[in-house]
Amino acid sequence: MDLTADSFDATVLQAQNVVLVDFWAPWCGPCKVMSPVVDELASEMDGVTIGKVNVDDNAELARQFNVLSIPTFIVFKSGQVVEQFSGSMSKDALKEKLEKHAA
């Protein structure tokens, strides 16, 4: 799911469940590596919402959450940031981080 400034509050900050937000850009090599991993998890994980923010199109959101490098992943739970991390990782590592907060 693509997130914008217009949809971010309703989809992420007002959600009661766990939400993973992937801050990315089309020119970012590591982002291209992580994109299929994030897409797979989005279709596999129940109870976790996964969205993507293109930092080129939504620079204000990137600034708001202090995204300094990409890809940056922020995990929200009940609208609050519970974890933030950057860079590529395995699907299992990312899934483990999400499951920790979804439990």
Q: Active-site positions?
A: 28, 31
Radius of gyration of the chain (CA): 12
Measured distance CA(29)–CA(85) in Å, rounded:
17
